[in-house]
Structures are given as structure tokens and as C-alpha cells.
Amino acid sequence: MATTKRTDIITPEVYLAYMEEEFPERNIFVRSGILESPPKEVQSQLNAGGRLINMPYWDYLSRSAPDIVSDDDTVEITPRKITASKDQAVKHYWAKAYSHMDIAGVMATGNRKDPEGHVLKHLSEDWMGAEQTMLIAACRGVFADNAANDSSDMIYSVYQDIASPTAANRFSRSAFDRACQTMGDRLGDVVAIAMHSSVFLAVQDNDDIDYVQDSKLEKEIPYYKGRLVIVDDQMPVTAGTNASKYTCFLFGRGAFGYASAALDADQALEYDRSPLKGNGGGQTNMVTRRHCILHPRGIKWTDASCAGISPTEGELANALNWDRVYDRKNIKLAQLDVNAG
């Protein structure tokens, strides 16, 4: 049985160039500054082989008081040691496949190519959503590690498992400020917050949301105290005996390093035709692929529990796979737990 490839629907090189241009313009995580490009050395490792990327770095210099000079020639200053450590990221090798029977397109609109057109129209948005899903999973794993190994110093909670929570248990300016304060004197670095729609409704009811018209996204974008608000119902909700715990994530600029590898056109977007399927009606398959890094800066990927080439959503959320290597104040992430309703 022969299967023929098809490239007559679109020119992959042209479409991919358009998608790569559109992606940063419409990706709210990129535009807010949460995702930033890593150094060239990291990008070169992404384009090379292997699963992991090693990122050695110089530890931050201490902010201790300086020595006082003296006119005593018997006294010498003691040099402070400069030390190095290593962060580590995992490469993500992702694929999505779409398939339809040609007769389905004919029956729906009279054009067998319409299903493919629909996929292509929304492909960039689909990948943005997928990356947001994986980013949230990584945050879950990072904060699970923080709770297990670092005394929850990146987490602030006003949540209580009670039947009748009060205003003190809900999202508030005070709770938000204290979550920012877990970053110490870097609290002003917060540029965005992600929350569940149930939490967003409460914030909106308090008239604390400002909307700004965005010409690229062609919609109004919510802000809270000057910080971008990302509303996503994939945000963690943990059931309790009396009330659920709603988790919010706070992001500073450059919280995640992000880069995508340059793939050949027929690797990034590939078509396959099976004309004999459907008793001759024909089947069209489309595969789209992305190779990237999406790494919380300063949180080492330990690779302790990863069965495949790249981690799944569940493996990203596993505390065993993360270990903080930066000082807390240099991690641009915080968690806030609240009641809703």
C-alpha cells in the first residue's frame, strides 16, 4: 500500500515564517516579559544534540559591608571567594498530529481542505495554549519542591479549609503584597499574575481590575495593580473537606527562559496523504512539531523521574524533578493560595 505526501495545500516555509512572526506578537507570556531569550550559549546547546542543557553561572557577589582602608602596612585585606554553580534545563521535543477524512470536509462545507485550513488558522494559538499548560505544570513542580525542601519560602497562603471563608481568606491587596514580599527587596519585579477564573471573578467584583486595549490581540487585557492578569482554569485547585484551595502564580520579568529550535520546514510541519483510507475517500494527516526550552530560571531540572526523551505534564509537576539553585530573591516566582467565593 502506498502513502503519498502532499505539499500542495500550503508552502510550509511561508506558513512557518508567518507563525514564527505571529507567535511572539500574540504570546502574552512573551510580551509581558515572563519569557525571555536565554544566552547564545544556551541557544546553541538547544540546536545541538542531547536532552539536557548545562548552564553554569557565577554566584551573586555578597552585599556585605566593605573593608575600611588603613595606613597600617601590616594589615592586608582578605579577598572574598568567587564561586560558580550550575543550573540545568531539559529540552522539550513536542509534536501534535491532526487527521481528518476528506469526505468530512466535503460533507461539512463542500471542500475537503477546509479542516486543514481550520487547523492552520488556529495552530499558533494552539501551540501557545500548549506551552502555557506546560509552564503551569512546571510551576506546580517548582512550588512542590519549594514546599518539600525550602520551607515554603516562595509561598504565601491565606487559605483555610473552612465552610465560611472571610475576606481575610480571599484574594486581596494585602495578600498579593505579601506574596510579592517573599521575593524580599525584589518584590517590585513582579509583572504578572496567573489565576483561576473563580479568583478573577472575586477580584473583578472588588473593582480592582483595569482593562487596557491591546491592538495585537484585538481585545482588552486585564491588569491588577499594574500587573498583567492571566486567567486560566488550568491553575491548580485543590479540594478540601470544606473549601477548595485556589493557587495563583506571580511572575517577575524573565522568570522563564524560552527558546525554540530552528527546524526544517518539512520537520516543523508535515503532511501525509492516505488516499485508500475510507474505502477510497481519502485521509489527510498533518503533524506539527516544536523543539524548545521552557525553563524556570534558577530552578535546576534534576531529571530524577522522567521516563521519556522529554517530560510529560505530570513529570513537570513532580517535585522530584526540580531543585532550587539560585538564592530565593533571584527567583522571579511566587505562589499565593486563597479561598474563592
* pTM of the entire predicted model: 0.84
SS3 116: helix
116 burial level (CB within 10 Å; 0-12, 13-18, 19+): buried
pLDDT for position 10: 47
- Please give the Cα distance from 314 to 272 (Å, whole number): 30
Rounded to 5 degrees, what angle do the CA atoms 126, 232, 125 make? 15
Q: What is the pLDDT of residue 239?
A: 97
Looking at residue 103, what is its pLDDT? 80
Work out the widest C-alpha separation in the chain, in whole angstroms: 97
Q: Residue 18: its pLDDT value, please?
A: 46
Q: What is the pLDDT of residue 262?
A: 81
What is 244-290 written as a DSSP string? Answer: -EEEEEEEETT-EEEEE----HHHHEEEEEETTTTTTT-EEEEEEEE
Answer yes or no: are the C-beta atoms of 13 and 265 closer than 8 Å.
Answer: yes
In the chain, where do the E strands start and end? 35-36, 52-58, 84-90, 92-101, 155-157, 190-195, 209-214, 219-224, 227-231, 237-238, 245-252, 256-260, 269-274, 283-296, 299-301, 322-324, 333-338
Neighbouring C-beta atoms of residue 20, cutoff 10 Å: 13
pLDDT of residue 68: 83
Residue 47, classed as helix, strand or coil, is helix
User: pLDDT tens string for the chain (341 positions)?
Assistant: 444 344 444 455 544 554 555 555 557 877 788 999 988 888 888 888 889 998 866 666 777 788 888 888 888 888 877 776 778 999 999 999 988 888 877 776 666 676 777 777 778 888 888 999 999 999 999 999 999 999 999 999 999 999 999 999 999 999 999 999 999 999 999 999 999 999 999 999 989 999 998 776 678 999 999 999 999 999 999 999 999 999 999 999 999 999 988 888 778 888 888 889 989 988 888 898 999 999 999 999 999 999 999 999 999 999 999 999 999 999 999 999 999 97
- Delimit the domains of the chain by residue range: 12-57+83-338
